[in-house]
Amino acid sequence: MFPEQTSYRQIATPELGGLAARAAAVLQRNDMGGWTRAAPNLYPHQWSWDSAFIAIGLAHLDTGRAAVEIRSLLDHQWKNGKVPHIVFNPDAPPESYFPGPEHWASAADADEAPSGPAPTSGLCQPPAHAIAVRRILEVAERRGEGVAGVRKFLAEIYPKLLAWHRYLATARDPEGSGLVTIFHPWESGTDNSPRWSAAMGRVEVGEMPDYERPDLNHVPDPSERPTGPEYDRFIWLVEVIKRDGCNDAATYDASPAVRKQRAEVAGARAVVVYVHSGGVRRRAGLRALRRLRASMGDDEQLLRAVVGFGKSGDAYLLTVWEGPVGAGRFLDSPRLAEVLQRWPNSGWANEWMPENEFGHWDGLRLRRNRNKHGLRVPEAARAAADLPTKGDSR
C-alpha cells in the first residue's frame, strides 16, 4: 500500500534521460505535496483535467503518487458528483489568479458544494480521470509493483468516478440527447480556442465590477492571452452561473437558446407510432411506417417526421405537429388505423408533449436505447423521446 500523502520531490528518477527527464523535472517543480499546480505563476491552483494528465505522467514515476493526485482532486467533489474545474490553493496570494477563490466565494454556499477546507470553482472540465486511473493500473500491472495498493485505490474511488459520470449524463444532459452541455468555454478544455469566438461574440455583457487580470503579467506578449472584451464575456458568464447559485438546472433553463426552443414548441403536439415486426417482417414494418409518413403529404400542421428502427424488430415513427388539431387528425386517420390493424397485438400509437422534451424536437431523431430492458412507450415523454439511432429523417 502507498502512503496517503507523497511528495514527488521524494521520488528519485536517476534512470530518466532526455525528454522524459525534462518532463519529470516540470512535474517536480510544480509538485505541491499531494497535488500538482498547473503552472508555477500563471496557474497556481489545481486544475481538474490537468491533474488527470499529470497523474498519467506520474504513474510512470510512482503509481502511489499518481493515485494521490487523483484522490486529492476527488476529495473536493461536489455532492451532486461534479468534479470542480479548479481546487484553489489556500496558500496562493489572492492577486495571483483571477477569477480566484474570492470571486468564487458564493459557490461555497451552493446546495451541492463540498464542505472541504479548500474552496473550488463552480465549473467542471472534461472527464479524463477514469482514463488516468486506468493508466495507473496498467503501469502497476505491467511492472508488477504496487498492484495491490492501486486496486485498493480503485475500489475507493470507483463510486466517485461513477457519480462524476452520472452527473454529466444527467445534470448536464437534461434533454437526454447523449451530448453533455457546457456553460462556459472554460469547461471544454480548449478554453481560449477560436472555435468559441462566434458564440462568445453574441454574449451581451451586463453590469459587473471592475477587475484586474494578473494573467497578463505572466506572459511576455499580452496578445497570447484573450483580449479585454473576450475576458469580459468570460467573467460575465461566471457571474451568470454564480447568480444562479451554481445550479445547473437554473443555468440551463435561463439559457437564451433553451428559451428559444421552448417558445418554438409551445403548444406543439407529437405522436409516436410503434410496431414490433421482428424477423422476416422487419422490413415490412419499416416500409409500412414510411408509407404512413408519406401519406401525410404536405399537411401544414406537420413540423417533423422521422422513421427508424429501435431494438431488434422494433420500428418507430415520430411526428411533431404545430398543435392538437394536426396530431388528432393523424391519430384518427384511416392510414394509421390500417397500420395498427396489421399489428393488432404488437403496435400502438400515442400522443406525447414535446415541450417536456423540447431539446429533441428540432433535430428529432431515433437514438440508441440504453435501457437494457427496452423501451416501454408510452410511460413518459422522456421514454418516448429516448429512442434508438439508425433512423432516416424527412
Q: What pLDDT does 86 receive?
A: 96
Average pLDDT of the chain to the nearest whole number: 81
- Residue 165 in domain: yes
Is residue 50 pLDDT above 90, yes or no? yes
**Nearest-angstrom CA–CA distance, 154 and 243:** 37
Q: Are residues 271 and 328 in the same domain?
A: yes
Domain boundary among 222, 254, 286: 254
**Nearest-angstrom CA–CA distance, 152 and 149:** 5
Beta carbons of 149 and 2 less than 8 angstroms apart: yes
Q: Are residues 187 and 212 in the same domain?
A: yes
**Nearest-angstrom CA–CA distance, 244 and 261:** 20
**Nearest-angstrom CA–CA distance, 59 and 36:** 13
| pLDDT tens digits for range 201-220 | 888 899 888 999 999 988 88
How do beta strands 269-276 and 347-352 pair?
antiparallel
Phi, psi (rounded to 5 degrees) for 62: -165, 110
| pLDDT tens digits for range 74-112 | 999 999 999 999 999 999 998 899 999 999 988 888 889
Mean pLDDT of 223-247: 91
More reliable by pLDDT, 176 or 218:
218
Q: Are residues 287 and 188 in the same domain?
A: no
Host domain of residue 174: 1-254
- Residue 260 in domain: no
Neighbouring residues of 32: CB distance < 8 A, sequence distance ≥ 6: 46, 89
Taking the CB of residue 222, how many other CB atoms lie within 10 A of it? 13
CATH number at residue 189: 1.50.10.10
Mean pLDDT of 328-353: 85
- Residue 30 in domain: yes
Is residue 316 pLDDT above 60, yes or no? yes
Q: What pLDDT does 4 receive?
A: 45
Q: What pLDDT does 3 receive?
A: 41
Lowest-pLDDT choice from 37-51, 126-140, 199-213: 199-213
Cell triple for residue 171?
445534470
**Strand partners for 317:** 273, 307
Q: What pLDDT does 363 receive?
A: 33
Q: Are residues 150 and 235 in the same domain?
A: yes
Q: What pLDDT does 46 receive?
A: 97
Give the H/E segment covering residue 53. Answer: helix 48-59
SS3 of 122, please?
coil
Say how many domains are in the chain.
2
Q: Are residues 250 and 331 in the same domain?
A: no
Domain boundary among 231, 254, 277: 254
- Stated pTM of the model: 0.67
Q: Where are the beta strands (DSSP E) in the chain?
A: 46-47, 86-87, 269-276, 302-309, 314-321, 347-352, 391-393
More reliable by pLDDT, 125 or 270:
125
Q: Are residues 250 and 284 in the same domain?
A: no
- Residue 289 in domain: yes
